[in-house]
């Protein structure tokens, strides 16, 4: 079984409903969810002129490898209603693989650990709730250590509710 950290985000439509639907679809796909973070409302990253996001993280277990899981996640995004738009633009749902155990993977379609996660407070704060001691396999520091050092003044995080 692979232990995997996922980051989820939504800023279009029923944002909370989109996150919850994605979690339900993960469960019905045979994925075991072992932890979910609170949901945080955050300012958009990369492209500021769009609605605010709801973000959360989930820890899952599956026997699927990274590439198989990525295909499943893209399918779930479509079922939730995601329409492909511009990079960093608005989206109904986004599900990113942050970690797969302590693996480092580089392929044409998948990079694990997520190459930008250590710069993104909207990933680190929820992830620190559910996996504070997870060690980043490249940076060799815990999620909590990385999260405590990030100072993104343009991102406001407000605790909303449990996923």
Domain ranges of the chain: 2-162
Residue reference for tokens 């559910």: 130
Q: Under 8 Å CB-to-CB from 113, ≥6 apart: which residues?
A: 98, 99, 104, 136, 137, 138
List active site positions: 82, 91, 94, 96
Per-residue pLDDT of the chain (163 residues; tens, 9 = 90+): 999 999 999 999 999 999 999 999 999 999 999 999 999 888 888 788 899 999 999 999 999 999 999 999 999 999 999 988 878 789 999 999 999 999 999 999 999 999 999 989 899 999 999 999 999 999 999 999 999 988 765 556 666 666 6
Q: Give the pair of three-digit tokens for residue 28.
A: 């019905």
Q: What single DSSP character describes residue 71?
A: H
What whole-number distance in Å separates Cα of residue 23 and Cα of residue 18? 9
Whether domain 2-162 has CATH 3.30.70.560: the reply is yes
What whole-number distance in Å separates Cα of residue 134 and Cα of residue 127? 9
């Amino acid at each position: 079984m692979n232990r995997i950290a996922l980051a989820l985000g939504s800023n279009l439509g029923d944002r909370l409903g989109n996150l919850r639907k994605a979690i339900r679809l993960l469960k019905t796909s045979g994925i075991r969810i072992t932890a979910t973070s609170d949901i945080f409302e955050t300012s958009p990253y990369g492209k500021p002129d769009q609605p605010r996001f709801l973000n959360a993280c989930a820890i899952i277990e599956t026997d699927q490898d990274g590439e198989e899981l990525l295909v499943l996640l893209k399918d779930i995004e479509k079922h939730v209603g995601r329409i492909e738009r511009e990079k960093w633009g608005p989206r109904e749902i986004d599900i990113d693989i942050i970690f797969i155990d302590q693996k480092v993977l580089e392929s044409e379609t998948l990079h694990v650990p997520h190459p930008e996660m250590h710069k993104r407070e909207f990933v680190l704060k929820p992830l620190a709730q559910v996996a504070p001691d997870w060690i980043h396999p490249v940076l060799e520091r815990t999620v909590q250590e990385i999260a405590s050092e990030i100072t993104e003044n343009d991102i406001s995080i407000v605790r909303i509710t449990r996923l």
